[in-house]
Amino acid sequence: KNQVEQSPQSLIILEGKNCTLQCNYTVSPFSNLRWYKQDTGRGPVSLTIMTFSENTKSNGRYTATLDADTKQSSLHITASQLSDSASYICVVREGGYNKLIFGAGTRLAVHP
Partner 1 sequence: DTGVSQDPRHKITKRGQNVTFRCDPISEHNRLYWYRQTLGQGPEFLTYFQNEAQLEKSRLLSDRFSAERPKGSFSTLEIQRTEQGDSAMYLCASSLSVSVGQGGNTQYFGPGTRLTVL
Q: Does 7 bind partner 1 (CB under 8 A)?
A: no
**CB of 45 vs partner 1, minimal distance in Å:** 7
Other Cβ atoms closer than 10 A to 35: 24
Q: Does 95 bind partner 1 (CB under 8 A)?
A: yes
Judged by CB under 8 A, the number of residues near partner 1 is 26
Cα–Cα distance between 11 and 4 in angstroms, integer?
A: 18
Q: Does 100 bind partner 1 (CB under 8 A)?
A: yes
**CB of 100 vs partner 1, minimal distance in Å:** 7
Instruction: Tell how far CA 16 is from the center of its chain.
Output: 20
Extract the runs of DSSP E, i.e. beta strands, from the chain: 4-7, 10-14, 19-25, 30-38, 45-51, 56-59, 62-67, 72-77, 86-94, 100-102, 106-111
- Chain positions 19 to 78 lying near partner 1, rule: CB under 8 A, are 31-32, 34, 36, 41-46, 49, 51
Give residues in contact with partner 1 (CB under 8 A).
4, 31-32, 34, 36, 41-46, 49, 51, 89, 91, 93, 95-96, 98-100, 102-105, 107
